[in-house]
Amino acid sequence: MINDLYILIPSRIGSTRLENKPLINLSGKSLIQRVLNNALDITENAFVATDSDLIKNSIIDISSNIIMTSADHISGTDRICEAANILNIDNDAFILNLQGDEPFVPKKLIERMLFDYSNNLCDVITVSTEINSNEEINNPNCVMVETDKNQFATKFLRTGNVHNPRRHVGIYGYSFNTLKELVKLKPTKNEIKFKLEQLRFLENGYSIYVSEFNEEIPPGIDTAEDVILADKYIKNK
């Protein structure tokens, strides 16, 4: 199992769907507080990477694990790379890029990814879960992933034909050394067209192993409806 683990959470004020999304109140705590608390239950090396004083001030009462980064980053991947440099992380350390709008990622999912990364030679690891309805398949916000027989990604799509489709969950893991290589890559045409950053990795020859996790993954926060569902989930836990 991996000993040198860091969870880095990129977060910014700038959502087009939900104003000040990281600061949204979920049953008494902000969204970003819940994401960080969940990550700290897995490792003490969990940090929020942000350029926002509002986000910093939301977290400072519960943790000092905040890395202030440039406001010029175009992606969360770029932001966590700067944070890793500031933290002086070893090149071989394993970094988990956890999205700042995923407050309920199960610990068992992270453990599955760590196990699979330790037992498969890959550049990047991510995760998928079952698709339960045609509605999901036809929803462009449900990113689908296709893998080969060894569970390495061959295709990511928002719509279209995918063999044995599974829903991609946007959590990524890699060594710091690999992360530094990834941020140097230029965006590809398909990445820009489909708004899927992982296509940049795939189309530049980086292998992506896809862990399979078939237990419930509570939804992330993208819409006002998600906020209502999240509050219900917290109250029913």
- Mapping DSSP onto H, E and C, the string for the chain reads CCCCEEEEEEECCCCCCCCCHHHCEECCEEHHHHHHHHHHCCCCCEEEEECCHHHHHHHCCCCCCEEECCCCCCCHHHHHHHHHHHHCCCCCCEEEECCCCCCCCCHHHHHHHHHHHHHCCCCEEEEEECCCCHHHHCCCCCCEEEECCCCEEEEEECCCCCCCCEEEEEEEEEEHHHHHHHCCCCCCHHHHHHCCCHHHHHHCCCCEEEEECCCCCCCCCCCHHHHHHHHHHHHHC
Q: How many angstroms from the chain centroid is the CA of residue 106?
A: 13
Q: Looking at the DSSP assignment, which residues form a beta bridge with residue 29?
A: 26
pLDDT band at 1, cuts 50/70/90?
low
For residue 16, what pLDDT is reported?
A: 64
For the chain, the structural domain boundaries read 1-105, 115-216
For residue 115, what pLDDT is reported?
A: 95
DSSP strand pairing (153-157 vs 166-175): unpaired
pTM of the full structure: 0.92
d(CA 211, CA 201): 17
- Do the domains spanning 1-105 and 115-216 agree at the CATH topology level? yes
For residue 138, what pLDDT is reported?
A: 76
For residue 38, what pLDDT is reported?
A: 94
Kindly report the average pLDDT of the chain as a whole number.
Answer: 91
Q: Looking at the DSSP assignment, which residues form a beta bridge with residue 209?
A: 125, 152
In CATH, the number for domain 1-105 is: 3.90.550.10
d(CA 188, CA 19): 29
In the chain, the percentage of residues whose pLDDT exceeds 70 is: 97
**Residue, of 216 and 108, whose pLDDT is higher:** 108
> Shortest CA distance to 66 belongs to which of 75, 78, 57, 76?
57
Q: Which CATH superfamily is domain 115-216 in?
A: Spore Coat Polysaccharide Biosynthesis Protein SpsA; Chain A (3.90.550.10)
Q: Do the Cβ atoms of 46 and 9 come closer than 8 Å?
A: yes
> Shortest CA distance to 126 belongs to which of 167, 165, 181?
167
pLDDT band at 15, cuts 50/70/90?
low
Model confidence pLDDT, tens digit, residues 159-182: 777 778 898 998 999 999 999 999
